[in-house]
Chain A
Amino acid sequence: QQQVKQSPQSLIVQKGGISIINCAYENTAFDYFPWYQQFPGKGPALLIAIRPDVSEKKEGRFTISFNKSAKQFSLHIMDSQPGDSATYFCAASLAYSGAGSYQLTFGKGTKLSVIP
């Protein structure tokens, strides 16, 4: 049972365009939704995160949009650059529930290629 579904599996975007990656979750108890960026041969690194009490969070060119009623959230990368080419993972966890472990449930990842 996949608790976090991510799409698309791969994405090709022209330099300067907008990259959009979508995720849907099933467990309504999730209360923390981070996005991780992974370059080849490296471990994932936190890019941006959101809690479900806000509908949008922006950091530079990266924006998370969150729709609690639809149980969906998405990552938008504005003015996409070749240096953004990487694999992006959405994730969810019970970070604030007191469940204790803050373990992350990951989507399957989206390989983004930004072409000049």
Chain B
Amino acid sequence: NAGVTQTPKFRILKIGQSMTLQCTQDMNHNYMYWYRQDPGMGLKLIYYSVGAGITDKGEVPNGYNVSRSTTEDFPLRLELAAPSQTSVYFCASSYRIEGTEAFFGQGTRLTVV
């Protein structure tokens, strides 16, 4: 059981480049999330999805886009990368059940230079 899988694990981007962070889960979870983690700042929600075709903004959505065409996949797109987007990105998923646990992937460490 793979759980939540993120690729790539590490990436260096130049300012202005674009990239897609991949996230897939094999637990048939309805809900999926993207968080970014900066040192000493906890995790902040970028975007979330409550099901295929439905996405919504979180606390820090600027500079990012998402799509959810299938239950399994929830890619995060960075357009025109900026140094402020240097962070560790975590994808998570959960069931559509009250109080359920969110399962996190192992993260993607992104550096924008």
Contact = CB atoms under 8 A, between A and B. Distances in A.
Interface of A: 6, 9, 32, 34, 41-46, 49, 51, 89, 95-96, 100-109
A88 B33 CA distance: 20
Q: Which 7 A-B pairs have the closest CB atoms?
A: A43-B104, A106-B42, A108-B42, A46-B101, A106-B43, A95-B99, A96-B98
21 contacts: A6-B42, A32-B98, A32-B99, A42-B107, A43-B4, A43-B92, A43-B104, A43-B105, A43-B107, A44-B90, A46-B102, A49-B99, A89-B43, A101-B31, A101-B56, A104-B33, A104-B102, A105-B45, A106-B44, A108-B41, A108-B42
A86 B18 CA distance: 33
A100 B97 CA distance: 10
B42 A107 contact: yes
Contacts of A51: 99
A110 B62 CA distance: 27
Contacts of A96: 98-99
B43 to A, nearest CB: 5
B37 to A, nearest CB: 9
Interface in B25-42: 31, 33, 35, 40-42
A45 B107 CA distance: 12
